[in-house]
């Protein structure tokens, strides 16, 4: 089967589900070190993407699905995370270009371009207590897995696992970007909401890939 358009559509549907399931958790995390809107923002965004998915033509490629996610998140999510996720999916879509399906190398190219897009836009580094603390370990682990011969679904699974561990590392950090940076040391002990949502989205990608 492979990571084709059916998979990309399934990833969007699963993303909308997990974001909705974890909405309250993301709101709570963002309330602790931000303004409490992250769960609401993302839920609104993925609900909007889901509504537009049926309008895509039958011949749409994975890159078209990812581009739809990008433009919809940019116009509906708002906050810091809207433009950041929008850029991630847009750069990721450009990286996969017009491929009919994604192999392991294309998955790595997608993740790398998405992460680089977030960095370009938000200027955060690993250790700043942002979504980059989930994205970068995911990219590194995915790249290593692809180099040792893993397939696309396995690469996504390894990436999701690394993003989850990366999100956990944000507990101990002081935030140096975004609203949480206003809190100084008081942010310690709280997990970054954007790192958690990144891990959820990558887990959704991996779960739908292993089922396809
Ligand atoms: P806002 O902070 O505007 O309310 P959200 O609550 O939707 O936006 O998103 C907050 C998340 O955005 C943070 O948890 C963090 O992961 C991410 N974030 C904020 N600023 C940056 C940045 N400069 N670079 C990377 N990620 C960032
Ligand atoms: Mg917020």
User: Which bound ligand lies closest to the C-alpha atom of 190?
Assistant: 1
Question: Rounded to an integer, what distance in angstroms lies between the CA atom of residue 149 and that of residue 180?
Answer: 39
Q: Please write the tens of the pLDDT for every residue from 21-70.
A: 999 999 999 999 999 999 999 999 999 999 999 999 999 999 999 999 99
Which residue minimizes the CA distance to atom 5 of ligand 1?
38
Domain map (residue ranges) of the chain? 5-211
Give distance in angstroms: CA of 194 to centre of ligand 1: 6
User: Which spans in the chain are helix H?
Assistant: 5-21, 23-33, 38-53, 62-76, 81-96, 104-122, 132-147, 152-169, 193-211
Residue by residue, pLDDT tens for the chain (212 residues) are: 589 999 999 999 999 999 999 999 999 999 999 999 999 999 999 999 999 999 999 999 999 999 999 999 999 999 999 999 999 999 999 999 999 999 999 999 999 999 999 999 999 999 999 999 999 999 999 999 999 999 999 999 999 999 999 999 999 999 999 999 999 999 999 999 999 999 999 999 999 999 87
- Counting atoms of ligand 1 from 1, which one is nearest the CA of 179? 2
User: Which bound ligand lies closest to the C-alpha atom of 180?
Assistant: 1
CATH of 5-211, one of 1.25.40.340, 2.40.420.20, 1.10.40.30, 3.40.50.150: 1.25.40.340
Fill in the DSSP letter of residue 162. Answer: H
Which residues, listed in sequence order, are joined to residue 73 by a DSSP beta bridge? none
**pTM of the model as a whole:** 0.98
Contact 122, 82 (CB under 8 A): no
């Amino acid at each position: 089967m492979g990571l084709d358009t059916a998979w990309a559509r399934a990833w969007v549907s699963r993303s909308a589900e997990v974001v909705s399931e974890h909405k309250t958790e993301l709101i709570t995390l963002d309330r602790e070190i931000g303004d409490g809107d992250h769960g609401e923002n993302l839920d609104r965004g993925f609900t909007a993407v889901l509504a537009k998915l049926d309008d895509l033509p039958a011949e749409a490629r994975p890159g078209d699905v990812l581009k739809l996610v990008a433009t919809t998140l940019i116009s509906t999510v708002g906050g810091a995370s809207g433009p950041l996720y929008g850029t991630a999916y847009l750069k990721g879509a450009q990286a996969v270009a017009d491929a009919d399906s994604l192999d392991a190398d294309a998955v790595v190219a997608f993740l790398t371009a998405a992460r680089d897009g977030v960095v370009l836009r938000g200027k955060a580094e690993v250790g700043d207590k942002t979504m980059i603390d989930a994205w970068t370990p995911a990219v590194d682990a995915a790249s290593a897995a692809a180099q040792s011969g893993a397939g696309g679904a396995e690469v996504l699974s390894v990436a999701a696992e690394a993003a989850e561990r990366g999100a956990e590392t944000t507990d101990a950090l002081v935030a140096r970007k975004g609203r949480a940076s206003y809190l100084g040391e008081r942010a310690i002990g709280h997990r970054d909401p954007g790192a958690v949502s990144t891990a959820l989205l990558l887990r959704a990608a991996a779960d739908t890939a292993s089922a396809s």
